Amino acid sequence: MKLLTNSYLKLALLVLALTFAYSCKPGKMGSSVDADAAKKVYVPPGKYDEVYAFLSGGFSGQVSVYGIPSGRLLKVLPVFSQNPENGYGYSEETKPMLNTSHGFVPWDDAHHPELSKTNGEDDGRWLFINANNTPRIARINLVTFKTEEILELPNIGGNHASPFCTENTEYLVGNTRFSEPLDNSKKDVPISSYKDNFKGAVSFIKVDKDNGAMSLAFQLIVPPFDYDLAHAGKGPSHDWIFFTCYNTEEAHTLLEVNASQHDKDFVMAVNWKKAEELIKEGKGTKIPARYAHNVYHESTHTATSTMETETQTLDVTKFPGLVYYMPCPKSPHGIDVTPDGEYMAASGKLAAIIPVFSFKKMLNAIDKKQYEGMVDGDLPVLKYEDVLHGEVKNPGLGPLHTEFDGKGYAYSTMFVSSEVVKWRIDNLQIVDRIPVYYSPGHLSIVGGDSKKPYGKYLLALNKITKDRYLPTGPELAQACQLIDITGNKMKLLLDFPTIGEPHYAQMIPADKIVKNQIRFYKLEDNKNPYVTKAEKDAKVTRNGNRVDVYMTAIRSHLTPDNIEGIKLGDEVYVHVTNLEQDWDVPHGFAIKGNNNAELLIMPGETCTLKWIPGETGIVPFYCTDFCSALHQEMQGYFRVSPANSNVPLKFSFGENLATE
Ligand code: K7E
Ligand code: CUA
């Protein structure tokens, strides 16, 4: 077969072989651990960590929050997946968060946490993250650490180059991994008609600067490459966003070989300011689209899901000056912009160098209009030599991602040779390298993609751990390694395992977030329509076969705690209001045999658990969170009678059952 003799296949196999060789080597553990590592990561009991790290959960669909330098796991935040721990995606209030144009999708694959930025600096207000599979972007409020909004993105498949924000979080951007047929009348086409019928779409999501509310502003229709990652410019490059793309061959099968043919793929530079102006001038084309917009309202603790019906597009081939391509060796993955906004480091997975592009040179090349060629007839390809600041030579094998310390240095991960490499941005000389265990994807430096990196700590996010931890069957934890970057030499401080696959993490000094935390959640602010603000208002009502239980929880009882008159065929909605207002006092709620989940109800909140009783008899319920010394007493009973029974609906607390 012709393809198998292809030299690129050989190269791919070589890379694979090297991956295997490197990642399966027993660790030379300990060799590079700093002598005072223990002191540097020790956070005494009762003391706070210096930094928050937000790690994506990868295939878990969630975000996990760690304290750095201790590596202590603080919390897992539910985002794109149902979460049995607190009933997210199971409670009636939060189910709409996981609604999509495909219906209820209770899981996803989340890759890139992105902190909101003001003047190019992390401002500690929101954390955004992408759902890769069923394209969505979520916004987490860093006051409550709750997912407040999820916006689906139409017309794309694989929301991977996402969500990266502009310097003042004017926009979040997401680009498609899988190009698709976009013409509604031509969706059912042969896959082999890829080059004719498939297109990419870059989404620009407007973020309200006061409340963070997201809306899909417009989408740019681009050639059908596979877009991989992105970063927005800053400072001088403020108006631009840069995307890596592979599969510029426009292959649709055996991409491993067929998308590795070209010696160079591209970095796509998009002038978003110009696109914004064109949209303002009314140049956009409105097309029908179906995508869900889900919002969690803090005052009611309830989410709503709205189906949007339209999007606005701009075909970039029709508007000169919007898009330029820069050749980039070879199957590029990460693209990272230096703190001063002058240079873009792109990492070709199969390249033996790291090309660093100069923004200034890019503008000059655009001015000169000396192109190497065109994509799709109309989109200029700039000359590699014209836009290149230079190449980092011999960085290692499989460069993936780069971040910056704000002191003139860049740090890149080498997936295949399992190391982090430090190099100077000005002369591109490598000054240090440190092995990591093993196969790092992204790395993260505190503020490392911002205008003002805080530096100090680097996290390597490793895909493979092999011999690093006690074995746990075939599934081994993925892991982080914390590296001290304060000195000339990088120093390994700590290993810790992670939840899911942390593709990327963002880190921020703790004080930017701690100061916004709320310690008291007022019951009077609770606007949930099913709230019960006092025990005396607890009640049970019936409307046909729907039964609503208005229940309260306070240490250490649930009111009411005896409920009779439920019948087979009923749908029971238990609305539990937590009467506590001080933070750190949640109550839980669970019903025996319920096919749903349990709840965890935060102070001052109301949560609703749906239950369809399956058999007659006595059914216990209780609080699942050890909330006081008498937590174990926090319990009650339902009585379920046959459908035709005439047991009256009754409820009580602390007395024998009284009739309503
Ligand atoms: Cu490199 Cu999804 Cu950012 Cu994984 S991605 S590593
Ligand atoms: Cu409330 Cu245990």
What average pLDDT does this structure show over 437-460? 97
Tell me the helices (H) and strands (E) count for the chain, helix number first: 8, 47
Q: Which pLDDT score, from 0 to 100, does residue 656 have?
A: 64
**How many A from CA of 102 to the centre of ligand 2?**
37
What average pLDDT does this structure show over 466-476? 91
Q: Which pLDDT score, from 0 to 100, does residue 660 have?
A: 43
pLDDT at 22 over 50: no
What average pLDDT does this structure show over 467-482? 92
State the closest ligand 2 atom to the C-alpha of 624, by its place in the atom list counted from 1: 2
**How many A from CA of 541 to the centre of ligand 2?**
24
Q: Which pLDDT score, from 0 to 100, does residue 115 have?
A: 98
Residue 556: Cβ within 10 Å count = 16
State the closest ligand 1 atom to the C-alpha of 503, by its place in the atom list counted from 1: 4
Cβ within 8 Å of residue 289, ≥6 positions away: 154, 155, 308, 309, 310, 311
Mean pLDDT of the chain: 93
pLDDT at 30 over 80: no
The more confidently predicted of residues 597 and 53 is 53
Q: Which pLDDT score, from 0 to 100, does residue 32 have?
A: 67
State the closest ligand 1 atom to the C-alpha of 229, by its place in the atom list counted from 1: 3
Phi and psi at residue 583, in whole multiples of 5°? -60, 160
Cβ 269 vs Cβ 128: under 8 Å: no
What residues are paired with 175 via a beta bridge? 161, 202
**Would you mind telling me the total number of residues written for the chain in this entry?**
660
The more confidently predicted of residues 465 and 12 is 465
Cβ within 8 Å of residue 458, ≥6 positions away: 403, 411, 420, 443, 444, 445, 448, 482, 483, 484, 485, 490
The Cα 348–Cα 330 span in angstroms is 5
pLDDT at 659 over 60: no
pLDDT at 658 over 90: no
Two structure tokens written together for 390: 């230079």
Q: What is the residue type of 342?
A: E
- Rounded (10°) CA dihedral 279, 282, 285, 288: 90
Query: At 324, is the pLDDT very low, low, confident or very high (cuts 50, 70, 90)?
Result: very high
Query: At 510, is the pLDDT very low, low, confident or very high (cuts 50, 70, 90)?
Result: very high
Q: Is the CB of 422 under 6 A from ligand 1?
A: no
**Each residue's pLDDT tens digit, 348-380:** 888 899 999 999 999 999 999 989 999 988 899
Cβ within 8 Å of residue 430, ≥6 positions away: 392, 393, 394, 395, 421, 422, 423
**How many A from CA of 589 to the centre of ligand 2?**
8
pLDDT at 100 over 90: yes
Residues of the chain with pLDDT > 70, as a percent, come to 94
What average pLDDT does this structure show over 485-497? 96
Q: Is the CB of 623 under 6 A from ligand 2?
A: yes
DSSP secondary structure string for all residues of 341-379: S-EEEEEETT-SEEEEEEHHHHHHHHHHT-EEEEETTTE
Q: Is the CB of 627 under 6 A from ligand 2?
A: yes
What average pLDDT does this structure show over 28-57? 88
State the closest ligand 1 atom to the C-alpha of 160, by its place in the atom list counted from 1: 2
State the closest ligand 2 atom to the C-alpha of 588, by its place in the atom list counted from 1: 1
What average pLDDT does this structure show over 438-450? 97
Residue 656: Cβ within 10 Å count = 7
pLDDT at 23 over 70: no
DSSP state of 257: H
**Each residue's pLDDT tens digit, 228-279:** 999 999 999 999 999 999 888 888 898 888 888 888 999 999 999 999 999 9
Q: Is the CB of 441 under 6 A from ligand 1?
A: yes
By alpha-carbon position, which residue is closest to atom 1 of ligand 2? 587
**Each residue's pLDDT tens digit, 189-199:** 999 999 999 99
Looking at all shown ligands, the one closest to residue 227's CA atom is: 1
**Each residue's pLDDT tens digit, 550-572:** 999 999 999 999 999 999 999 99
Query: At 657, is the pLDDT very low, low, confident or very high (cuts 50, 70, 90)?
Result: low
- Edge-to-edge order in the sheet of strand 457-462: 440-445, 457-462, 479-484, 491-497
Q: Which pLDDT score, from 0 to 100, does residue 330 have?
A: 86
What average pLDDT does this structure show over 179-203? 90
Residues of the chain with pLDDT > 90, as a percent, come to 87
pLDDT at 29 over 50: no
What average pLDDT does this structure show over 305-323? 97
pLDDT at 11 over 80: no
